[in-house]
């Protein structure tokens, strides 16, 4: 099975994360993706760590299996190539600062007139219009602007020795996923109307939309001592009978969720203890409450027996595992939670597997991450250019070879390890 989107053609102008992830998701679902890379290369090719063969795992994770053509859009000939590629495409993905592709004549209005069925996806920090249109936007800054960082700092409070942002780029990842969802909706509508459309995805709006407790803040609801929702973010850490570290999915403080713990422990008397008789009292005496629960947990012979009783009381737990540990688990083997792709230099990359299974068959394994410009000749010949014309474009710099490999080799030769050169291109959103 190639995937449900087999036959759809995607041109991917994006780089780094949000846009490439959107295009990769469409590829995972069966679409053919062609990455259009500028001469100076996608900066993520230089992202650490670079493996011994000079290939960035960061780049591979978002771009494995995509075909690649590298052209200089500052030239008229390259812009003509891009227009021809868009003429035959179903979907275009870009995540530059709004207006960047307009300067090259690759704006939505121009392309939709040439190809009325084109679905044009733009991912940016704050949208294609409005007062914040031109602002630089990366995941940490958007998460700060959209309330995500504030929630984290509020939640952890005095436990933080210094203000900290999240370790992962949620705004980029979720925006890429939401863009892919929107594409699927637009494809369905195109079946009905025969027309494409422009999809405008804002990272800030995405972060607000995926915040499951947004209703609390937006409606100024008073929580007093009750945790928001079911208190998932207040889940406590415990030590298992044999030293396992795990977390419970619900709060010890909340009125509803505390009852679950009393049921699991067969301790209804805890609700009458003045220290634990109200959310405020439980929060004030949380350490003492944790000690009571922890002592009960240590009374079990092993995690299996403990988990069975917690499960009976509808309390989910999760052991703290590294990615290496979960990848080595029986579940990971069953699901196919990882996959391997070649790095084109004799090695391999282990990457996350797909989050879906289809009864129609298994999805195809993606190929290796393409070398910059690897498919130049194949793509250009498909557009009708002969060898002489392609050679002329290579000589004049319209079509570019593997700049990224040369830069990596140069840097590795100078310092013994890969490092990222300074990017000098138009700034864009992740």
Q: Could you tell me if 317 and 338 lie in one domain? A: no
Question: Which of 288, 323, 358 is the last residue in one of the domains?
Answer: 323
Mean pLDDT computed over 191-203:
97
Mean pLDDT computed over 31-41:
94
345 has pLDDT over 90: no
Within-domain flag for 102: yes
Question: Which of 261, 291, 323 is the last residue in one of the domains?
Answer: 323
Please identify which residue in the block is written with the tokens 């602002």: 135
Backbone angles phi, psi at 37, to 5 degrees: -110, 140
Please state whether 195 falls in left (phi above 0), alpha (psi between -120 and 50) or beta: beta
Residues with Cβ within 8 Å of residue 261, at least 6 apart in sequence: 252, 270, 293, 313, 315
Backbone angles phi, psi at 327, to 5 degrees: -65, -25
Within-domain flag for 95: yes
Q: Could you tell me if 123 and 67 lie in one domain? A: yes
Within-domain flag for 55: yes
346 has pLDDT over 90: no
417 has pLDDT over 50: no
Q: Could you tell me if 111 and 184 lie in one domain? A: yes
Task: For residue 160, name the pLDDT band (cuts at 50, 70, 90).
Answer: confident
Q: Could you tell me if 137 and 98 lie in one domain? A: yes
Q: 76-87 vs 387-396: helix axis angle to the nearest 10?
A: 130
CATH number at residue 15: 3.40.50.10540
Q: Could you tell me if 246 and 388 lie in one domain? A: no
Within-domain flag for 360: yes
DSSP-assigned beta bridge partners for residue 290: none
380 has pLDDT over 90: yes
Cα(385)–Cα(392) distance, integer angstroms: 11
- From the number of C-beta atoms within 10 Å of its C-beta (0-12, 13-18, 19+), residue 133 rates as middle
Mean pLDDT computed over 245-267:
94
| The total number of structural domains that make up the chain | 2
Q: Could you tell me if 284 and 246 lie in one domain? A: yes
Q: Do residues 420 and 56 lie in contact, with contact meaning Cβ atoms separated by under 8 Å? A: no
Task: For residue 226, name the pLDDT band (cuts at 50, 70, 90).
Answer: confident
CATH number at residue 276: 3.30.1540
Mean pLDDT computed over 47-51:
83
199 has pLDDT over 70: yes
Lowest mean per-residue pLDDT among 27-36, 66-75, 145-154, 251-260: 145-154
- From the number of C-beta atoms within 10 Å of its C-beta (0-12, 13-18, 19+), residue 189 rates as middle
Q: Could you tell me if 279 and 351 lie in one domain? A: no
107: its two tokens: 């704006």
DSSP-assigned beta bridge partners for residue 197: 119
Within-domain flag for 49: yes
Q: Do residues 394 and 401 lie in contact, with contact meaning Cβ atoms separated by under 8 Å? A: yes
Lowest mean per-residue pLDDT among 75-79, 104-108, 287-291, 399-403: 399-403
Within-domain flag for 74: yes
Which 3 state secondary structure label does DSSP give 127? coil
Q: Could you tell me if 182 and 63 lie in one domain? A: yes
Within-domain flag for 226: no
Q: Could you tell me if 319 and 341 lie in one domain? A: no
Q: Could you tell me if 314 and 341 lie in one domain? A: no
Task: For residue 347, name the pLDDT band (cuts at 50, 70, 90).
Answer: confident
Within-domain flag for 426: no
Q: Could you tell me if 258 and 149 lie in one domain? A: no
Domain extent at residue 297: 240-323
Question: Which of 303, 323, 343 is the last residue in one of the domains?
Answer: 323
Structure confidence at residue 211 (pLDDT):
87
* Average pLDDT score, the chain: 89
Lowest mean per-residue pLDDT among 70-79, 153-162, 213-222, 234-243: 153-162
Cα(16)–Cα(97) distance, integer angstroms: 13
């Amino acid at each position: 099975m190639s995937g449900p989107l087999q036959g759809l053609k995607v041109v991917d102008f994006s780089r780094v994360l949000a846009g490439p992830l959107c295009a990769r998701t469409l590829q995972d679902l069966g679409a053919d993706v062609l990455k259009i890379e500028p001469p100076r290369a996608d900066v993520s090719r230089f992202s650490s760590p670079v493996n011994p063969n000079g290939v960035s795992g960061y780049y591979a994770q978002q771009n494995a299996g995509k075909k690649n053509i590298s052209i200089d859009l500052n030239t008229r000939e390259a812009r003509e190539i891009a227009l021809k590629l868009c003429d035959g495409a179903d979907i275009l993905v870009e995540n530059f600062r709004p207006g960047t592709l307009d300067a090259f004549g690759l704006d939505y209005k121009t392309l939709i007139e040439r190809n009325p069925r084109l679905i044009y996806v733009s991912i940016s920090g704050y949208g294609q219009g409005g007062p914040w249109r031109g602002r630089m936007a990366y995941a940490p800054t958007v998460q700060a602007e959209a309330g995500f960082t504030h929630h984290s700092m509020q939640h952890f409070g005095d436990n933080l020795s210094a203000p900290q942002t999240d370790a992962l780029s949620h705004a980029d990842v979720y925006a890429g996923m939401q863009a892919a969802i929107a594409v699927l909706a637009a494809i369905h509508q195109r079946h009905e109307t025969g027309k494409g459309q422009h999809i405008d995805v804002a990272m800030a709006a995405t972060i607000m939309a995926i915040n499951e407790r947004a209703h609390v803040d937006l409606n100024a609801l008073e929580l007093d001592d009750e945790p928001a929702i079911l208190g998932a973010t207040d889940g406590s850490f415990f030590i298992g009978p044999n030293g396992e570290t795990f977390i419970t999915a619900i709060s010890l403080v909340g009125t509803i969720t505390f009852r679950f713990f009393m049921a699991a422990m067969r301790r209804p008397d805890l609700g009458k203890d003045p220290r634990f008789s109200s959310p405020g009292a439980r929060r004030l005496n949380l350490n003492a409450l944790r000690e009571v629960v922890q002592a009960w947990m240590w009374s079990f012979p092993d995690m299996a027996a403990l988990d069975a009783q917690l499960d009976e009381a509808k309390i989910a737990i999760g052991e703290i595992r590294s990615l290496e540990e979960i990848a080595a688990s029986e579940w990971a083997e069953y699901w196919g939670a990882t996959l391997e792709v070649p790095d084109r230099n004799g090695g391999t990359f282990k990457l996350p597997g797909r989050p879906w299974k289809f009864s129609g068959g298994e999805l195809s394994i993606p190929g290796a991450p393409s070398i910059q410009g690897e498919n130049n000749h194949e793509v250009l010949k498909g557009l009708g250019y002969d060898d002489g014309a392609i050679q002329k474009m290579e000589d004049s710099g319209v079509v570019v070879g593997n700049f990224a490999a040369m830069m990596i080799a140069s840097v590795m030769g100078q310092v013994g390890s890969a490092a990222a050169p300074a990017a000098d291109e138009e700034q864009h959103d992740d």
